[in-house]
Chains A and B, each alone.
Chain A
Amino acid sequence: MLNMFRMDLRRLFRTKSLYICTIVLMAVVIIASVAVNAVCKYGSVWDIQDMLSGFSGDNELTTEIDGGYSPSLADAAMLEAAKVKLRSFMTLQVLASAPFMTRLSYMLISLVCVLYVSKDYITAYLKNLLMIPHAKTKWLISKILMLLVIIIFMYLGITLASLIGQLILGNPFPDDFMPLISYMAKTLVSAISFGLFNIFMVVLLQKRSGAIVICLLTSFNIQGIIYMLIDTAKLLPFKLSHYGFMLLTYKVNLHDPLPDKLLPVAGVIAGLSLLLSFVLIRRRDLKM
C-alpha cells in the first residue's frame, strides 16, 4: 500500500494540472489583493464600500462607514478612514476566501483529482499494477489519499497567495492563523466530499471526458434546477433543495458556523461514494 502511495505521490507532483490549477487559485487571490490595493489607492469611498460589501456579504461593515458619511461631508479624512477600514478588513482569511466564494476552488480541486485519477484509465496503466495483490483496492485507497494531498497542496497555495496579498496591501505579517485554519476546515468538508464523489464518477464511468463533464456540471450546481423541479412538483415530503450539497456549500462563510445540514449531507455523499467506488472497482470489469 505504501509503495502504491509512493508511486502516486511521485507521479502527482509531476502532474501539470496540479500546478496550473493551484496557480489559477493563487492568481484569484493575488488579483483580488491587487484590485483592493488599487481601490485603496485610487478609489472613492463608494468604491471602497462596494468592495467591502462584495467581500463581507453583509452590510454591517459597510454601514460603519456609511454611518458618518454624506456626500456633502466627504473629505480626505473620511476617505482615509475608509481605506484603513478596507485594508484592515482584508485579513488573511478574507483573501483566502476569494476562490471559495467564487466556488472555483471546489471545482479546480475536483478537476485535478479527476484528471489525475482518470489517467490510469485512459492510459490503461492500471493494468500494469494488477500483479500486486489486492491491486484495485490499494489503487483506490491511494487515489483517495492523493485527493487529500491535492487539497492540502492547493490550500497551501491559497494560503501563500493570501500572504502575498497581505504584502501587496501593505498589511503586517499575520500572527494568528487560527481564523484561516478554522475557515479552511469548514471548506474542507465540502472539498473532500466533492472530491470523493468525483473519484466515484471516474470509477463508475471509467472515462475522463464523462467524469470531467459531471465534475463541472455539479460544481456549477446544475442539479439545483432538478431539485427545484422536484420541489415544485412536490414529489417529496421535504424540500430537496434544502439538502442540496452545493447549495449548502455555498453557504459556508467566514463568520457563520458550518450550515447545519452540510456535515450530514457531505458525510452521506462521501460515504456512498467510497462504498460504491470500492464495490465497483472490485466487481466490475476494467474496460481497458
Chain B
Amino acid sequence: MANLIETTGLSKRYGKKYAVKDVNMHVEKGSIYGLIGRNGAGKTTIMKCINRQIVPTGGDIMLDGIKLTRQKKIRVGALVESPSLYEDTSAMQNLLYKCTALGIKDKKMHASNLLEMLELSKVKDKKVKQFSLGMKQRLGLAMAMVGHPEVLMLDEPINGMDPQGIAAIREMLVHVNKKLGTTIIISSHILDELSKFASVYGIIKEGELISEFTRETLESESFSSITIVSPHIDDVISALSEKTPVNRDMLIKPNTLLIKNGAQLHKDISRLLFDRGIYLEEFRVDHLSLEEYFMRLTGGGEIA
C-alpha cells in the first residue's frame, strides 16, 4: 500500500542539539502507526513537524506524495501533548468553533456526533475548566477528529483515562480506522495497549528512528521461548537433540522443558514430536511483548 506520510531525512535542531535527526518514516495509508520511544526521544517533535506546529531544520515531509507545505487536500487532525481547549467555554462550543473554522455545514450535528462517540454528550454544555483530565483528553480527541481528517495524530491520547475509558478509546480508534480509513499515528507509553491495535511500529531512540516493523514482523521475530510439558520428558529431549541443542539442564521442573534459543523452530519441533508419537501435556510458544521487543532494540530503559 502507498505511503500517506513519508519523511525523508527529517531533522529538527534546537541550538546544537538535535531533537530529531535524519528520520525516514513511512506511514501507510489506512495503517495505525505506533510511535515508541523513551521520554525525550523525539516522538512529539516528529508529530509537531507533521502537524506544522514547528518548522523542521532539515528534510522533507511528504503527505500523499505532495510536500507538506503545499498539501491542501489531506487534513491532519492532531492531539499533540495536552488538549488545546478554551477552558471558559463549553465542550460543545469548543467543537463548534473548530467546525466553523473548517466550514463544516451541519456543525451542530457533527459536533453532537463526536461528543456522543467520545461519551461526552451529557457534559456538552459544561465548561471545560470543570472537566477532569480524562474528559479533557477525550474532548481533545474529539477536537482532533473534527471534519474527519484523513490523518489522526495522537500523542499519548490515553493519558489520565480510566481502564474503561482506555478500552473505549481503543475501540473508537479501531472503528475510525476501519470504517473511515483514517490513518492514525499514535504514541503511548502503555505499550501493552498499543500492541493491541497498532499495525506498524516505529521505534525512536535519541532522535533517530532505529526501526520500523509491522505487527506481523513483531509476531514472527519475537519468539522468546518454547515450553514443553510431558510425562516422557526424556524422550522429548532425546528426540529434540537431533534438531536443536537441548539437555537436561534446560528442565525447569522434572517434566517441563524450556527452550530459549531456537524458538523460531517451533513448527519443526512440534511436527517432530508429533511424528515420534510422544505424548505432550503442554506445548506453548511464548512471544516477546512489544515492551520486551522495544527493550531488546533500544537496550532497555524507560519507555515513552
Contacts and interface: CB of A to CB of B under 8 A. Distances in A.
Given A131-B76, A285-B55, A10 B85 contact: no
B210 interface: no
Interface string A52-67: 0000000000000000
Interface residues of B, number: 31
A6 B101 CA distance: 7
A288 B84 contact: yes
Given A124-B82, A128-B84, A128-B143, A4 B101 contact: yes
A285 B48 CA distance: 9
Nearest to B12: A285
Chain B residues touching A, majority SS: loop
Contacts of B84: 123-128, 288
B102 interface: yes
A183 B111 CA distance: 46
Contacts, number: 71
Interface string A1-44: 01110110011001000000000000000000000000000000
B37 interface: no
Contacts of A11: 86, 97
B228 interface: no
Size range of the chain A interface in the assembly: 20 to 34
A6 B147 contact: no
A272 interface: no
B92 to A, nearest CB: 13
Interface of A: 2-4, 6-7, 10-11, 14, 119, 123-133, 135-136, 283-286, 288
Given A3-B101, A129-B101, 13 more contacts: A11-B97, A123-B84, A124-B84, A126-B84, A127-B80, A129-B98, A130-B53, A130-B76, A131-B78, A131-B147, A131-B149, A283-B55, A285-B48
12 contacts: A3-B100, A6-B100, A123-B86, A125-B85, A125-B97, A126-B84, A130-B51, A130-B78, A131-B75, A131-B78, A283-B55, A284-B55
Interface of B: 48, 51-55, 71-72, 75-78, 80, 82, 84-87, 89, 96-98, 100-103, 143-144, 146-147, 149
